Amino acid sequence: MTLAVVGTDTGVGKTVVTAGLVAHLRHSGRNARAIKPAQTGFPADDDAGYVQRICGDDSAATRLRTFEEPLAPAVAARRSGDELAFDSLLEGVQHELETASIGVVEGAGGVRVPLSTDPPREIIDLVAALEFPTLIVSRPGLGTLNHTTLTVEALRARDVPVVGVVLNRYPSQPRSVAERTNPAELERLCACPVRTLPEVSSEAPESVRELGTRVVELCVDAGALSAGR
């Protein structure tokens, strides 16, 4: 059983959502594992390391390739004089999935971010090749209608099943009309489930795991995950 987590942009909270999802599943007794195909900005940014800390277990997540500059993976690879082969990433993800009953593959930035150099491919190409149901993480405020609908459209054009959308860091008291109306409007525009996730302390494992509870509920309702152990 596998799932991809992608974002409408960088900094929307994909890693916190991924960590919450994996932490909840592991706490429930399920062998879930996060996989980061390409990590840039490393070691200052380490998404797999964050998931490991939240779960309290190094086996909870892994990264395949790392690059120091905080850029799109393909750009960082070219600037470092390295090659980032698409087939190698795809095979690496598939190999890592063999060690988990539930695999969660986290993207980088948005779905059109350049991923590999040989041949030139994007995050969306990897998700489509893996044929995973995909969860979209988005911002709650002004601008998210455009970013989110374009992401859903791009995924569906590649026959990628869209599990739903989570609006991350949704305020307990929405401050703007956009924040108040976006959840219902996105459900209408995207024809998929939309859930709001509160802002939590990203370094508090219990809070992040509780966030994951809501994500798991959405995935179960959408048929992307089973409800059992």
Contact between 29 and 165 under an 8 Å Cβ cutoff? The reply is no
Binning pLDDT at 50, 70 and 90, where does residue 229 land? Answer: low
Q: On the CB side of 220, how many CA atoms lie within 13 Å of its CA? A: 13
Placement of tokens 């040989």 in the chain: 118
Side-chain-facing half-sphere of 218: CA atoms under 13 Å? 25
Q: Could you read off the pLDDT of 59-103 as tens digits, one per residue?
A: 999 999 999 999 999 999 999 999 999 999 999 999 999 989 999
Q: Are 20 and 208 in contact (CB under 8 A)?
A: yes
- Is the pLDDT score of 58 beyond 90? yes
Mean pLDDT of all residues belonging to the chain: 96
Per-residue model confidence as pLDDT tens digits over 192-204: 999 999 999 999 9
Please say whether the beta carbons of 194 and 181 come within 8 A: no
Catalytic residue positions, numbered? 36
Give 11's pLDDT tier (boundaries 50, 70, 90). Answer: very high
Comparing CA positions, the residue from 112, 113, 90, 99 lying closest to residue 37 is 90
